[in-house]
Amino acid sequence: MRTLSALIAELTRLFTLADLVALALFVATTLAMTLVIEHPPARRPSVARLMERHRRAWMESFAKREMRIFDASLLTTLRSGTSFFASTCLIAVGGVAALLGQTERILGVVRDLGGQPGVAAAAIWEAKLIAILVLLVQAFLKFVWSHRLFGYCAVMMGSMPDPGDSATVDRATRLQFSAARSFNRGLRTIYFTLAAMTWFLGPLPLMVATLLTAAMLARREFFSESRRALVAD
């Protein structure tokens, strides 16, 4: 309890009340978007949920096909996407880690430009960089796990008899769902990481960027042209 109290006291010392409110809004919004997208209202499913239906239909059709080369190509494409984003996140993690060691130099540039960073400016800068670093690492881990799950799905599909039995189809489908869920969570984390970068401009830009990112994700998942295409008869 003392450690938690000390942490809260340190955050209060470094950040203003507006910063803490913006940070709380950011965390609450990211969690809320995940909850709404993955557990949408039954009357209006999200794009992620609609795609689950098509993934199941894919596995059911796959089990009945004799020639499965096209399915293997599709799965390879999905794994390539997760690999690309995982590599991108890893590069970004390295860049942010490098910035953590250049805090004084960056603040020196601010002084040269006429700025007057306060005494705690270095600690605040580093705390914000660490927040960005945590988000990037989280996204990286999501993409890596998604890549591995798609690999598991490939093995399951390769072992499926011809024609496939319903139990194997169901297991392959659930692996597809898990892999896609991790991939989508990684993408959302990247979106919110870009929003979190506005925190360097102040708490108000962070709040605006957070709400705009949430609005963009909500539009794409519930009101986009792609969603209308998925539900079209």
Any domain includes 8: no
Any domain includes 212: yes
Any domain includes 55: yes
Instruction: For residue 217, give its domain range.
Output: 18-34+49-231
The whole-angstrom separation of Cα 133 and Cα 93 is 6
Any domain includes 41: no
Residues 85-101 have a mean pLDDT of 91
Any domain includes 42: no
Residues 131-154 have a mean pLDDT of 96
Any domain includes 225: yes
Residue 180 pLDDT grade (very low, low, confident, very high; cuts 50, 70, 90): very high
Residues 16-33 have a mean pLDDT of 94
Domain count, the chain: 1
CA atoms within 13 A on the CB side of 118: 8
Total residues belonging to the chain: 233
Any domain includes 123: yes
Reply yes or no on whether the pLDDT at 144 is more than 60.
yes
Any domain includes 160: yes
Q: Give 117 or 119, the one with higher predicted confidence.
A: 117
- Structure confidence at residue 1 (pLDDT): 43
Residues of the chain above pLDDT 90, percent: 62
Tell me what the pLDDT averaged over the chain comes to.
87
- Structure confidence at residue 5 (pLDDT): 65
Residues 47-60 have a mean pLDDT of 93
Residue 133 pLDDT grade (very low, low, confident, very high; cuts 50, 70, 90): very high
- Structure confidence at residue 140 (pLDDT): 97
Residues 205-221 have a mean pLDDT of 97
The whole-angstrom separation of Cα 69 and Cα 75 is 10
pLDDT tens, position by position, 184-196: 999 999 999 999 9
**Sign of the Cα pseudo-torsion (190, 191, 194, 196, in order):** negative
Whole-model pTM? 0.87
Residue 118 pLDDT grade (very low, low, confident, very high; cuts 50, 70, 90): very low
